[in-house]
Structure 1
Amino acid sequence: MARERWLVDGYELTEGLVRDVEYRAGLIATPPVIGANATVPNRVGELWRPKHHGPGKFTLALWLAPRTGGWQQVEAAWEDLLRVLARPHRLLTFERHTAAGQIRRCQGEVLSSLAPTPLGQSGMRLGVEVTIPSGYWEGTATVTNSSPAGTALPHALALAAFADATAPMENLAYRIDGPITAPTVTDTTDGPGGDSFTYTGQITAGQSLTVDSATWQLSGTGGLQPDPARLSLTGPAVLRLAPGRPSSPPSVRLSGTNGGPGTALTVTGRPAYLT
């Protein structure tokens, strides 16, 4: 088990002797759910509507203490924190090294006042409230899963590399290798009826189509020039992939017609986390 570490833009907060995280209350919390059900006149109850997460938030409870030099060193450590945290003109990169050895990263901002509590001449305590506008944390390493190439369709693909994700993922790239006509990629994590996207065109042998759900961009290789007008969606994003269940990773399915020996689906990106 590794020691948990916290960094902001590469500056380590958990130095250990001069500053560290004091306690974990408020450190781990999921973003609030946004959305509402619909009320229909003369109908009992409500009509359920899908929801999504709002901005995330966490609080770092830090302490500062002098190694040598007394209060002068505490003030110097405090001013270093100001140089790192008090930067409202841009988002900060927060990095958490977990006890399990993972590294998770988010873009956050410090919106509340920084108001430390002095502990006599021996140090100070400080609560840093961080808001994550995008809502989620991400892994730092890009991972990939691919289906075995082959003519038979559909291709079912279990995304083992994304098995530890706890949040929906809208930042993945889906590469479809031809030949295939009218390919559809469906989220089958919760069953066959998940969200999907379809490209109503043909990808010939030696060509590939990449659909980037983070940027909503289409790109092709082998001479393919994708037409964005041919892309249709069933959900609010290109494909909002649900996180897997315990002992079961997320999964997708590639379907279409006119497959061949090179037909395959590759999913690339970073897992997303609620905390």
Structure 2
Amino acid sequence: MARERWLVDGYELTEGLVRNVEYRTGLNSTPTVIGSNAAVPNRIGELWRPKHHGPGKFTLALWLAPSAGGWGEVERAWEDLLRALARPHRLLAFERHTVAGQIRRCQGEVLSALAPTPLGQSGMRIGVEVTVPAGYWESADTSSASTAPGAPLPHNLDLTPFTDATASMEQLAYRITGPVTEPTVTDTTDGAGRDGDSFTYTGQIGPGQALTVDSATWQLTGSGGLVPDPARLANSGPAFLRLAPGRPGRPPSVRLSGTNAGTGTQLTVTGRRAYLT
């Protein structure tokens, strides 16, 4: 098992000898769910509405201890922490290397005051409260999965490389290779009869052409001579396609449907996995 490491903008907090992470309060807590149901006059109960997660938050408790350099080394380490963390003009890139060897990243900001507690001449402790405006962590590496090319449709795709995601993913890119007319991509993660969000391109993708729907940038791009018309894209959810994480023991999944498919028809999903903690 690897040692857990923490970095901020590439500066390592877990140096080990002079400074290290003692504990992580709130790291395993999920962001608060935002949204409410609607009360309907003269109706029992409430009308359910979809919800989403708000910002995330965690606290790193660090210790600083002198080695050969004595107390002056602790003061220098404290000033280095200030240079790394006290940067309110922009978001900081936090990176966590887990003991399982996985790397997860988030963009965070330190909003509360940094107030260290001296431990005599043996060092100091400091709690760093981090707010994650985007709510989620994401994998450092990208994953990809594709259907086997060909007809007929629909194509059902288990996104096995995304199995360990624990949060909804709306930073994915969906590449649809033609030929296909009016392709629709649907989130089928929750099983038969419980389809999630979807998008439809009400146009034609010819042989040798491809359409990429990028949920992260809200852009459509074409290749092979295809010039996509954004007005032809209709999506059912708040993003082009917000993909739910897989259920226990099963990966997330999507379905490509449409008409006039051929031997080259294919769907490829690429992006980073998302995590609640």
Q: 2:230 maps to what in 1?
A: 228
Aligned residue for 2:234, secondary structure, equals strand
For the 8 Å contact 2:25–2:58, the answer to whether it is kept is no
8 Å CA contact 2:24, 2:58 repeated in 1: no
- The one-character-per-residue Cα deviations of 1:225-262 (angstroms, maximum 9, x if unpaired) are 00000000111110000000111000000000000000
Counterpart CA distance in 1 for 2:138 and 2:23 is 23
Q: Which residue pairs with 1:191 in the alignment?
A: 191
Matched position secondary structure for 2:76: helix
* Residue 28 of structure 1, CA deviation: 2.3
Give 1:170's aligned residue: 170
Residues matched between the structures, number: 275
Match of 2:245 among 243, 246, 260: 243
1:135-178 deviation digits (Å, cap 9, x = unpaired): 11010111110000011100000001111000000000000000
Which segments of 5 or more consecutive residues in structure 2 lack a partner in the other structure?
none
Q: How many Å apart are 1:69 and its aligned residue?
A: 2.4
TM-score, scaled relative to structure 2: 0.98
- Residue identity opposite 1:196 in structure 2: S
Distance 1:187 1:68 in 2: 57
Inter-partner Cα distance in structure 2 for 1:56 and 1:267: 26
- The equivalent residue for 2:30 is 30
Aligned residues with identical type, % of pairs: 79
User: RMSD in angstroms over aligned alpha carbons?
Assistant: 0.8
Determine the structure 2 residue equivalent to 1:54: 54
Q: Equivalent residue of 2:25, what SS?
A: coil
CA deviation string 1:166-201 (max 9, x = no partner): 000000000000000000000000124211000000
Amino acid at match of 1:57: K
- Identify the residue that residue 146 of structure 1 maps to in structure 2: 146
Deviation at residue 27 of structure 1 after TM alignment = 2.8
Gaps of 5+ in 1: none
Residue 15 of structure 2: aligned partner:
15
Distance 1:29 1:10 in 2: 25
Q: Quick one: distance in 2 between partners of 1:101 and 1:230?
A: 43
Correspondence 1:101 to 2:120? no
State how far apart, in whole Å, the 2-side matches of 1:27 and 1:148 are: 39
Give 3-state SS (helix, strand or coil) of 1:175's partner.
Answer: strand
Match of 1:131?
Answer: 131
TM-score (norm 1): 0.99
Please point out which of 215, 218, 221 is paired with 1:216: 218
Q: CA deviation at 1:70?
A: 1.8
